[in-house]
Amino acid sequence: MLWVGSQLTIGYAVAPVLFASLDRPVAGELAAQLFRLEGLIGVVCGLLLLGLSSVLVRRGALGYRRLRWILAAMLLCVLIGYFALQPFMNALRVQAMSAGMDVASSPYASRFGLLHGVSSLFYLVQSLLGAWLVWLLPSARGTLGQRMESAPR
């Protein structure tokens, strides 16, 4: 819940407010820092939750099998967005700043826009997967509870 909640809050509430309230370069820099933090949260939570769900599946909570695939897909989205796309976006932003302009008015604007669009698509997919994960959690817990109730004592 922490992972999905922080992702939805930063991506769909905080970042739009930043861009509506501040100059684009300042808002972009702050948003980049927040998304960097969100990427770290995603990696840590994704790995921990994958490990926990694997333990639960090994203990017989089969409802967590599907959740593992959702978690793995979410983690893949984070890794692509954070480790593959963000470094290129940051490099373009730094190159534009060293030339004395913001990235939107630099010669790198179209490449940055393309990377930003792809990154946003991965973020959207991750958000939808996260909402699906939260939706499925009660049914997975029900499976665990049923298994534990029927276990010999």
Q: Residue-wise pLDDT tens for the chain (153 aa)? A: 889 999 999 999 999 999 999 998 899 889 999 999 999 999 999 999 999 999 999 998 888 888 999 999 999 999 999 989 999 999 999 999 899 998 888 999 999 999 999 999 999 999 999 999 999 887 766 654 444 445 554
42 inside domain: yes
Domain count within the chain? 1
Predicted confidence at residue 147, as pLDDT, reads 47
The token duo for 59 is 């203990």
The token duo for 122 is 């991965």
129 inside domain: yes
102 inside domain: yes
Predicted confidence at residue 153, as pLDDT, reads 47
150 inside domain: no
Predicted confidence at residue 48, as pLDDT, reads 96
Quick one: DSSP state of residue 11? I
Q: What angle do CA 121, 127, 132 make, to 5 degrees?
A: 130
Q: Which residue has the tokens 């739009």?
A: 16
105 inside domain: yes
Cα separation, 52 vs 24, in Å, equals 40
Start-to-end CA span in the chain (Å): 32
55 inside domain: yes
153 inside domain: no
pTM (predicted TM-score): 0.85
**Domain containing residue 59:** 2-144
152 inside domain: no
